[in-house]
Amino acid sequence: MRNSRLLLFLIIFLLLPPFAPGASLAAPPQQDRAGKRFNLASCLYNNITFRQGETSPDRWRRCAKTLKLAYDQEPGHEKAPFALYLLGKTHEEMHERFHDPADLAAAAGYYEDLAMIFPRHALSDDALLILGTIALTKNNDEKNAEKILARIIAVYPAGDMAQAAAVMLRRMKNGDTVADNAAKKEQQQDALPMAHLSQPIRFWSTKTYTRVVIETSGPVQFQEAFLKAEGELPRRLYVDLKHSRIAPTFQNPIPIRDGLLKQVRGAQFDPDTVRVVLDTESVKDYKIFTMEEPFRVVIDVTGAKPKTPDHLPTLAEQFGLGVKTIVIDPGHGGKDPGALGVNGMQEKDIVLTVAKKVAAILEKETAFKVILTRDRDTYIPLEERTAIANTREADLFVSIHANSAPNNHASGVETYFLSLATSREEMQAAARENAASSSQISDLQKILQDLMQNSKIEESARLAGCVQGELVNGLQQKHDVKNLGVKKAPFIVLIGAQMPAVLTEIAFLSNEEEVRRLRDERYLEAIARHIVAGVRQYVAKLNTM
Ligand SMILES: [Zn+2]
């Protein structure tokens, strides 16, 4: 649109209810609260911009505040793009009059938001052109201006701002061809296969933790940026997926509003990039990692823990009874059978049976609340299992698996906690349980150091020791069971767990003797009983610390 002032008249005209008597015989349509608030704000804007010599900062602030409230109330509202545009305008005008640099930053933030959150909206390229002009004339940031202008030409080649952007670019570079370079770069990248989001963005959430998962049709490179608050804008976390596409149906904003994140939204940022934006409210930290088959980018966002009230510890707390909820996670399930044993035994079945027994004993004999990640033969992605434990605010996480090895003499029990793998066996175990290749595991190792911050490594190692010890000693009373010890490996199912978390391998399905034992209900009962004993021992040890 050529003339933004003209446009504003149009917007305001469209938004105003028919005031003139007799203008409409029909009753005005019922309006929602956000819509009403937005109309009020645009009236305020209208009044101040057309009243010459309006110098009171209060009126401007009120206008900005009302627009912001309208936007926050319903960021997915049909008028939200207009609200962002007017917010940009309001802050820009405030900067002109009152010279507070924060207003200019806020204006730029709102224009950027409009272009990014509503890339298909008619005002998006207008917002970008203003943004480019601000970068060039106010911030003297030629590089950034160039980028923004090139973006207009690339994303909105048929839009009415493309020509203006091209003119500006030419003036800046004296005929240089940023746009040509952009086109060339695009051609080069077309040689690679393009990925697309294969399903809507998923999330699990509490007030202090949210996990967001983006699933794509193939591996993608990504880059993230955590933007500081600009003016009144909350901090935003962007993840750009290179060489990717997103279907329009997956672009709807997903409201979260858990106090940590406002919403998540994916959009086609430019022809080659999908940008996923997490609008945050009180995020303290975040971590990102990827998973294979299907390819997923997992974003864990954490906030400040709510302050625990100052009080003297209760008797229960003094005795270390802080453990209330335990998540028991039977590995695999559904389309993922896990290890396949001799005589057709499948890992997913045997670990489900054991997990159910563990849950039953815990429920019957202890005061713990028990959550099973699955109680039937169903497929649950690894990232969802940890997310269940985190969002249910579990105090312990025990994943139950069975082993397999090419050497069919291999046997015994081992228990893992999350850490870097240091031996080939540990790498192989991680590759098997993560359904990933060894090379993917070594990639994972590289980022694991960062991922492990805040995880309860020490406690997890202690829990692993208790479970392993009780399980082996218990089973050895009647059987010849090999103690393979406590080990560490980068198991995806343990990554991001906010409580002590372990993965125990109860037997080798590749070993005939062990499979024979697993067919005996009493043996399974014993395994379950000894896992429970391990958990109890861990909790009991907490008391003495
Ligand atoms: Zn397994």
How far is the C-alpha of 147 from the C-alpha of 261, rounded, in Å? 29
Contacts of 130 (CB under 8 A, 6+ apart): 4, 88, 92, 111
Q: What is the pLDDT of residues 73-110, one digit of tens each?
A: 888 888 888 889 999 999 988 888 888 889 999 999 99
Alpha carbon of 327 to ligand 1 centroid (Å): 16
Alpha carbon of 460 to ligand 1 centroid (Å): 19
Alpha carbon of 441 to ligand 1 centroid (Å): 16
For the chain, domains (ranges, CATH) are: 2-18+29-191 (1.25.40.10), 200-303 (2.60.40.3500), 315-543 (3.40.630.40)
Mean per-residue pLDDT, 351-371 = 96
Residue 189 pLDDT more than 50? no
Q: What is the pLDDT of residues 118-157, one digit of tens each?
A: 888 888 889 999 999 999 888 888 888 988 888 888 888 8
Residue 476 pLDDT more than 90? yes
Lowest mean pLDDT among 85-89, 114-118, 226-230, 247-251: 226-230
How far is the C-alpha of 18 from the C-alpha of 219, rounded, in Å? 53
Query: How long, in residues, is the chain?
Result: 545
Residue 447 pLDDT more than 50? yes
Residue 385 pLDDT more than 50? yes
Task: Report pLDDT for 26.
Answer: 40
Task: Report pLDDT for 23.
Answer: 36
Q: Are strands 325-330 and 369-372 parallel, antiparallel or unpaired?
A: parallel
pLDDT band at 318 (very low <50, low <70, confident <90, very high): very low
pLDDT band at 360 (very low <50, low <70, confident <90, very high): very high
pLDDT band at 14 (very low <50, low <70, confident <90, very high): very low
Task: Report pLDDT for 272.
Answer: 86
Mean per-residue pLDDT, 313-341 = 78
Q: Which among 508, 506, 483 has a CA at the least distance from the CA of 355?
A: 506
Cis preceding-peptide flag for 193 (omega within 30 of 0): no
Residue 306 pLDDT more than 70? no
Residue 335 pLDDT more than 70? yes
Two structure tokens written together for 471: 């399980």
Mean per-residue pLDDT, 421-441 = 76
Mean per-residue pLDDT, 300-323 = 58
Mean per-residue pLDDT, 475-479 = 96
- For 105, 301, 395, the CA distances from 233, given in Å and listed in that order, are 10, 18, 35
Task: Report pLDDT for 7.
Answer: 46
How far is the C-alpha of 7 from the C-alpha of 26, rounded, in Å? 27
Alpha carbon of 372 to ligand 1 centroid (Å): 16
Alpha carbon of 296 to ligand 1 centroid (Å): 20
Helical segments of 366-381, H only: none
- Kind plus residue range of the DSSP H or E element containing 474: helix 457-476
Q: Which residue has better confidence, 295 or 526?
A: 526
Alpha carbon of 369 to ligand 1 centroid (Å): 24
How far is the C-alpha of 502 from the C-alpha of 222, rounded, in Å? 30
Task: Report pLDDT for 8.
Answer: 47
Lowest mean pLDDT among 15-19, 413-417, 485-489: 15-19
pLDDT band at 449 (very low <50, low <70, confident <90, very high): low
Alpha carbon of 506 to ligand 1 centroid (Å): 10
Alpha carbon of 425 to ligand 1 centroid (Å): 14
How far is the C-alpha of 419 from the C-alpha of 449, rounded, in Å? 8
Residue found by looking up tokens 């291999």 in the block: 410
Residue 176 pLDDT more than 50? no
Two structure tokens written together for 484: 């393979």
What pTM was estimated for this model as a whole? 0.60
Q: Which residue has better confidence, 496 or 297?
A: 297
Q: What is the pLDDT of residues 30-80, one digit of tens each?
A: 557 878 888 888 777 777 776 656 667 888 888 889 888 888 888 888 888
CB 496 within 8 A of CB 213: no
345 phi/psi in degrees, rounded to 5: -70, 135
Q: Is 308 left (phi over 0), alpha (psi -120 to 50) or beta?
A: beta
Alpha carbon of 504 to ligand 1 centroid (Å): 9
175 phi/psi in degrees, rounded to 5: 90, 0
Alpha carbon of 334 to ligand 1 centroid (Å): 13
Alpha carbon of 58 to ligand 1 centroid (Å): 63
Alpha carbon of 400 to ligand 1 centroid (Å): 7
CB 475 within 8 A of CB 415: no
Q: Which among 115, 161, 363, 151 has a CA at the least distance from the CA of 272?
A: 151
pLDDT band at 472 (very low <50, low <70, confident <90, very high): very high
Q: Which residue has better confidence, 346 or 75?
A: 346
Mean per-residue pLDDT, 335-349 = 92
Question: What's the chain's average pLDDT?
Answer: 82
* Tally of helices (H runs) and strands (E runs) in the chain: 17, 17
Q: Which among 151, 179, 149 has a CA at the least distance from the CA of 165?
A: 149
What value does the CA radius of gyration of the chain take, rounded to a whole number of Å? 29
How far is the C-alpha of 163 from the C-alpha of 142, rounded, in Å? 18
Alpha carbon of 358 to ligand 1 centroid (Å): 17
Distance from the first to the final alpha carbon of the chain: 69
Task: Report pLDDT for 450.
Answer: 64
